[in-house]
Structure 1
Amino acid sequence: MEYIIILTVMLFSITKVIPEDNLKKPIFNAMTPYFWVKNINETIPEDRDGSLMYGGHSCQITNVHYLFRHAARYPSLPWIQKMDNISTILREDPFVVTKYPFIGKWRTPFPKSKQYQQSAVGDKEMLQLGERFGKRFRNNVRKNAGKIIFETTSKNRTKQSKSKFCLGLENVIGKQSHTTSTDDRLLRYYDYCGKYIQEIDQNNDTLTEFYKFLNGVEIKSVVNKVRQKIGTSEIEPEEVVTIQQICAFELGMFEKSNWCQFFDMEDLLIIDYLIDIRNYWEMGYGYNINWQTSCAYTSRLFKMFRNVVNGKQHNETYLEPFVIQFGHTDTIIPLYTAFGLFNDSQKLLADNYLMNKNRTFRTSLIGPFSANLGFGLYKCDTTMAYVIRLFVNEEPVVIPACGQTSCLFSEFETYYHHLANCNVKQICEINTNMTGNSFIMSSDLLLDPAESIPDNQYNTLNHNGQTCQLEGLNVLFRHGARYPTIKWIRWMTALQIKLASDSKVISRYPFIKQWSNPFPETKEGTLSRVGEYEMLRLANRFARRFKSSLQGNLNHINFSYTHKNRTQNSYKYFYEGLNETLQTNTQEPNAKVDDEQLRFYDNCHKYNVEVEGNRNTTTEYEAFLRGKKMTNVIRKVETKLGFYNLSAVEVVVINQICALELGMFNNSDWCKLFDVDDLLVIDYLQNIEDYYEKGYAYPINWKQSCPFTSYMFKRYDHTVSTASLQHNKVPQLDISFGHSETIVPVYTAFGLFHDAEPLRADNFDVNKNRTFHGAVIGPFSANLAVALYKCDANSDHVIKMFVNEDPVIIPACGKTVCSYGDFKNYYSKLADCNFAQICQNDPNKPAFG
């Protein structure tokens, strides 16, 4: 009887297999190929969207602003690893392999080296879309062929999409020159919005509905059906979703997949809804901040169109006839939401799947690969009125502003005034206490994405009614964002192994079982892609602020770095950014390794004895680690995990994973284990450590910075003494790249960020608003600049100091600008110091080398 039942189940499964061609539909969420949504064979009439009728008047296109999601791509590394894992699990079951021999032979066709790269299908999508775009706006594109601006993100897949799109466009209009720029702040705005990161990415409640549905009756039904078809009970809901992903990617890239046979159409629709729930709460209507983050994008869009309507003179930033951009799902869906598109009457919840079967917020339809959102501005012939039209996936859509597919621009702008006149800084105002690690927060998170950098902003200053010109500048950067050290990498792996062995932990947080350490030991301590980008962007900002002083020539800058690879690569990308911004072709200057000035702490005997070798240095740190505040954090994390054997150090390791993954990949499941209060406590713990090892706790911490400070004063003394002998001279520029152990002692030497209360284990609440706060003053790419200016009415020289690009009050005079004489007198111990005497080094032993 048992055999008859098994045979019946097998026959039933066979009869339910859907032909693969019937699955090539918009049911695979964001992994849906574009031409499963649109008809690739559709005939596009010439100049179809180049004009429209409005109120009986003919209106001609004047400006087009078009955003594309990147084209079809390979899966991400985490998904490739999940695919490997599930196939390995199933391959080890002889019954499964006998029933489905392909599983025994299957190996992932998605090489890890190609993760996130555009696929051949994506190439074809963009080639076709370039041709279709050229046809839709043929007359105006030909007329303005040399005036097209292309914008991409820093991600390679968007650059590849732009490249193929251009080829398709050139097939219609012929080869043309164009301008291309990379702008993550515009097209990956969500990466730079602290409030979004805090309220969505780090909010445990964000995915409440997602996990309810994942563990609800509909998904359980799918899981049971897949288990029955495959013949195993070992598959969990997350693994069923992984199988669906294999099906989606293989079917999209190779037009067939044996894995698809484990689903019927209703299964795929249920999984599609599951992922839509996630998108709804992470990018869509679930939270207002999701669409508010798009402010940088929408305010620029309205400014561009407003300038056209007002007839302002040509400005290449805002008046080019065509702006074509390439971003991501996370770019386009918040914009749909901002403009009120695809807003259903019912929220996407775990308990209303049937009510939402006909929802318009369906990522498979509105956000497939190569999805696109276009804004067309038209000018009407007789009325001279301007009209706007929105396109989604090449088709006009009804605009909520007027209830039609075309609106008067004035009506459109009034309705969306909150998008036109928004303030990114206010919307995304960053609670700098959000970070879980003082010195691993990216400086890019502290910058205002919408900040406009005026040319020569700091090249001159007004002081007491005089104009003062820059004559000297010393800038110290901490290196850019990096991979963790090998010690931390190994601790992370050990912790994951420990937690993954506990069934209760895995039942609550399945990701822990499948988590694979994304930080290779071979990259320990090296600059990450985020760090490269930080340095490129900082160089651009620096070049604009001091443009005249650079004079299009970089050879007069003294560059230095330490022997560490991460500081040398920080210099490399900073220099590249300067060249790119200034369009110089000068030979690269002779940058040098200077550990004497930038790693002074390595060879200061007194520091080694009084701080590094002193057990009392860590007394307050260890007291706080064992104290009530940290114990409370540990208990909260243990309760969430259902695992009651965590040490304080292991909780800090989880914090490190959260911080580094969030910084490098913009997401980390490990962050779910903390709330903001937990992160504030761990942040203070690490600030205590830094306070005693680098800050105000021991005078030797700041005194040892003598090589750096004395060199700066020596350079400025020479500049001041020769000022009357030189006219129109090139400013002295020193730019160096060091570490947090370099910059924090220098801050301390100048008396910056000195709080009334020392950081101790017993005064966490007193120091909640402290200024010695590593997340703010010492993130990756933190920077300290000391600028020397000469005023025109006399021979006076003045000093201005900047921390992370903003002026700070100088303790020497209590103002942001001090006379050089007062500055040097106040800091005389930094100017006339003797490193060997300070550090009590052996005079017979070389200080460095």
Structure 2
Amino acid sequence: MRTEGAVILLVFSIHYADLLYCFWNTGCPYKYLSTETPYNSVRGDIRDSIVKLKGCEPVSLWGIYRHGKQLPSSHISKSMKEAVAIRNYVVTSYEKGFSSLCAQDVENLRNWEFNDSFFDGKQDITEEGRKEMAGLGRRLKEAFPALLNDLQKGSYTFRSARGSWVEKSIKYFVKGLGNKKLNIEDSKAETDVMDPYTTCESYQENVQKNPNISVEADAFLKHSDYLATKDKIQRRSGIDYTLSDKNITALYDLCRYTWSAVDGKASPWCALFTKDDLQVLEYIQDLKHYYSNGYGTPVNKVFGRVPLGDLVQSFEKVKQGGGKKITAYVTHATMLDQIYTALGLFKDSNPLTGANMDRERKWRTSKISVFSANLVAVLNRCEKEGSEDYNVVFYLNEEPIRSICEEGVCSWLEFETKLRPFINTTIDFCEPRSEPY
């Protein structure tokens, strides 16, 4: 009898513990949603974090940006749209007493409004994405007013990769600068410094379209951490049919894509997951991007060197009395990941694998590859004891990066030593292709 009582008490405790977690009033919901993390959830503020050096003034900015928050692609939106029907089963299971979701979480999910245009697969940025990009331009101008208040023709470069959502992103970034006379260059059909991988046939075939790239992510789907998460989601929802891996992914995407950081509104779909669940699903995405864009595939660092070579040349021209006050490229998460890899940033001592979930890993797409993620370099000209010198400060998502150079400030010698070799980067292994994929 004592044993039976202990079992009943244990079961009751587990069920009661589930009930204690209510997403709607958790206060600090887990906001790291891999590459679909809203920029406002993780960004700094360049106006507050700008590194001010005595005797120095900024003379040039070079930045590469991921596009703003976009609508889900046709493939993803199709799965998400099909998964919306699961909401009815969740509500019904709650009404029958089979779900451990909180009443308010169920009510919020029931009241969530379906927007058919959101799921039409149109390649476009969302209203939040427009605000993200405009905010970037506005804060940059406020941080560097002397440099950006009076941009004349020839003193700037604004260009994006191809794609309507990317091209709209650069337009809103420029709009945020507050100068209606600024011109945006047309996207290039041929190979461009901001996305050289898109016109590389061998890369597309051997990496982007290679199913073996997802081997480690697929292996993790058999790991006990993922299987336990899948079981918890099943029990938490209380629905009477078995959720597939495809269902879990689609529900996770509903949570990610319908979260609004601009309005401060977390998605009611996220109530289906606990913090631990979201961390496990986040790791799957990290594995995918680690191998498709990052350290898991050696060729990625080669592509990452291409825009960094452009950065060096851009600043060298300014040192020589020419160059641009600002260069801004808008591209994709793939390019940002490849640049991090080329710089040796966020590199773990051991490769990420599906056999073990490293909770202390450095490679976190939720912090480095979010919507509107950006890497900005600032060239400063300094006057010291009557002589002129230069240094460079890097910012990631509007916060200084201290790992590239000591204390986050690169002397010109350090900067040139680290990055100048990238000017000679070649991608001759790519077969010529005039149109990007």
Return the TM-score normalized by structure 2: 0.82
Partner deviation per Cα, 1:215-255 (whole Å, 9 max, x = no partner): xxxxxxxxxxxxxxxxxxxxxxxxxxxxxxxxxxxxxxxxx
Aligned length: 402
Q: How does 1:177-326 map to 2 (within 5 A)?
A: 205=20
Q: Distance in 2 between matches of 1:605 and 1:627?
A: 34
User: Are 1:661 and 2:258 counterparts?
Assistant: yes
Partner residue of 1:481?
69
- Report Cα offsets for 1:33-83 as digits up to 9, x if no partner: xxxxxxxxxxxxxxxxxxxxxxxxxxxxxxxxxxxxxxxxxxxxxxxxxxx
Per the alignment, residue 379 of structure 2 pairs with: 788
The answer for the alignment partner of 2:170 in structure 1 is 571
Offset of residue 517 of structure 1: 3.8
CA distance in 2, matches of 1:631, 1:698: 27
What amino acid is the match of 1:655?
Y
The reply on whether 1:470 has 2:67 as its aligned counterpart is no
1:382-781 counterparts in 2 under 5 A? 434-435=30-31, 437-447=33-43, 453=47, 457=50, 461-462=53-54, 467-497=55-85, 500=88, 504-505=92-93, 507=95, 508=99, 517-518=114-115, 520=117, 521-522=119-120, 524-553=122-151, 555=153, 556-579=155-178, 584=179, 587-594=181-188, 596-642=192-238, 643-663=240-260, 666-720=265-319, 722-723=320-321, 732-764=325-357, 767-781=358-372
Give the residue type in structure 1 aligned to 2:347: H
Mapped to 2, the partners of 1:505 and 1:603 lie a distance apart of 50
CA distance, structure 2, for counterparts of residue 611 and residue 205 of structure 1 = 44
1:439–1:775 Cα contact (<8 Å) kept = yes
Q: Does 1:798 align with 2:373?
A: no
TM-fit CA distance, 1:698? 1.3
Structure 1 residues 578 and 841, CA, compared in 2 at 3 Å: closer, same or farther? same
Superposition deviation, residue 523 in structure 1 = 5.9
Does the 8 A contact of 1:472 with 1:789 survive in 2? yes
CA contact (8 A) 1:611 1:693 kept: yes
Rounded to whole Å, the distance in 2 between the matches of 1:754 and 1:695 is 9
Distance 1:494 1:742, change over 3 A: same
- Pair 685,497 (structure 1): closer, same or farther in 2 beyond 3 Å: same
Q: 1:554 to 1:810 in 2, by over 3 A?
A: farther
Helix, strand or coil at the partner of 2:362: coil
Q: 1:827 aligns with which of 419, 425, 435?
A: 419
C-alpha spacing 1:828/1:810, structure 2 compared with 1 (3 Å)? farther
TM superposition shift of 1:702: 2.0
Q: Distance in 2 between matches of 1:207 and 1:677?
A: 14
SS at match of 1:598: coil
Letter in structure 1 aligned against 2:147: S
In 2 relative to 1, CA 554–566 (structure 1 residues): closer, same or farther, beyond 3 Å? farther
After TM superposition, give the deviation of residue 495 of structure 1 in Å: 2.0
Whether the 8 Å CA contact 1:549–1:731 is kept in 2: the answer is no
Shift of 1:787: 1.8
Deviation, 1:499, is: 6.2
Residue equivalent to 1:11: none
Shift of residue 542 of structure 1? 0.6
Residues 618/848 of structure 1: CA separation in 2 closer, same or farther (3 Å cut): closer
Q: What SS does the aligned partner of 1:681 have?
A: helix
Please say which structure displays the higher CA radius of gyration. Answer: 1
Q: What CA distance in whole angstroms lies between the structure 2 residues aligned with 1:204 and 1:484?
A: 32
Question: Per the alignment, in what secondary structure is the counterpart of residue 350 of structure 2?
Answer: coil
Q: Give 2:296's aligned amino acid.
A: A
Shift in Å, 1:469: 2.5
CA–CA separation in structure 2 for the residues paired with 1:818 and 1:695: 24
Q: Distance in 2 between matches of 1:515 and 1:614?
A: 37
Cα shift readout 1:523-542 (whole Å, capped 9, x = no counterpart) = 63311111122122222211
- Deviation, 1:609, is 3.9
Return the alpha-carbon distance in structure 2 between the equivalents of residues 817 and 572 of structure 1: 31
**Maintained 8 Å contact 1:437/1:659:** yes
Name the CA distance, whole Å, in 1 between partners of 2:339 and 2:204: 18
Distance 1:573 1:834 in 2: 32
Task: Specify whether residues 846 and 832 from structure 1 end up closer, same or farther in structure 2 by C-alpha distance, changes over 3 A only.
Answer: same
Aligned to 1:808: 401
User: Counterparts of 2:152 and 2:227 in 1: how far apart (Å)?
Assistant: 53
Gaps of 5+ in 1: 1-202, 209-280, 290-429
2:334 partner amino acid: E
Distance 1:818 1:631, change over 3 A: same
Q: Flag the 1:660–1:613 CA change in 2: closer, same or farther, 3 A.
A: closer
Residue by residue, what CA displacement relative to the aligned partner does 1:346-402 show, whole Å, maximum 9, x if unpaired?
xxxxxxxxxxxxxxxxxxxxxxxxxxxxxxxxxxxxxxxxxxxxxxxxxxxxxxxxx
1:610 offset after TM fit, Å?
3.4
* SS at 2:371 equivalent: coil
Output aligned runs, 1:107-122, within 5 Å.
none
Residues 474 and 735, structure 1, Cα contact 8 Å, conserved in 2: yes
Aligned partners of 1:734 and 1:496: how far apart in 2? 42
Give the AA of the match of 1:598.
M
**Deviation sequence 1:412-469 (CA, Å, 0-9, x none):** xxxxxxxxxxxxxxxxxx78xx235201111112246xx7936x945x524xxxx222
Displacement of 1:557 after TM fit?
2.0
Q: Which moved more, 1:658-667 or 1:532-541?
A: 658-667
Q: Structure 1 CA distance, aligned partners of 2:160 and 2:253? A: 26
Instruction: Note the aligned Cα RMSD (angstroms).
Output: 3.1
Contact 1:435–1:680 (CA<8 Å) still a contact in 2?
Answer: no
1:655 offset after TM fit, Å? 1.1
Answer yes or no: is the 8 Å Cα contact 2:392–2:409 preserved in 1: yes
Deviations, residues 293-345 of structure 1 (Å, cap 9, x unaligned): xxxxxxxxxxxxxxxxxxxxxxxxxxxxxxxxxxxxxxxxxxxxxxxxxxxxx
Give the residue type in structure 2 aligned to 1:634. Answer: K
Q: CA deviation at 1:597?
A: 2.3
> Once the 2 structures are TM-superposed, how far is the Cα of residue 819 of structure 1 from its aligned partner?
2.2
1:846 shift after superposition: 4.3
Distance of aligned partners of 1:603 and 1:658 in 2 relative to their CA distance in 1, 3 Å threshold: same
Structure 1's 627 and 486: CA in aligned 2 closer, same or farther, altered over 3 A?
same
Percent of residue pairs bearing the same amino acid type: 22
- For residue 735 of structure 1, give the secondary structure of its aligned residue in structure 2: strand
Aligned 8 A contact 2:308 2:422 in 1: yes
Q: Is the 8 A contact 1:597 1:707 kept in 2?
A: yes
Q: What's the CA shift for 1:638?
A: 0.9
The whole-number CA distance in structure 2 between the counterparts of 1:591 and 1:624 is 43
Q: Indicate the structure whose relative CO is greater, using CA pairs within 8 Å and at least 6 residues apart.
A: 2
Give the superposition deviation at 1:774.
Answer: 1.1
Give the 3 Å change call, closer, same or farther, for CA 670–847 of structure 1 in structure 2.
closer
Q: Secondary structure at the match of 2:47?
A: coil
Give the letter aligned to residue 841 of structure 1.
C
- Whether the 8 Å contact between 1:527 and 1:570 is mirrored in structure 2 is yes
Q: Return the alpha-carbon distance in structure 1 between the equivalents of residues 348 and 46 of structure 2.
A: 32
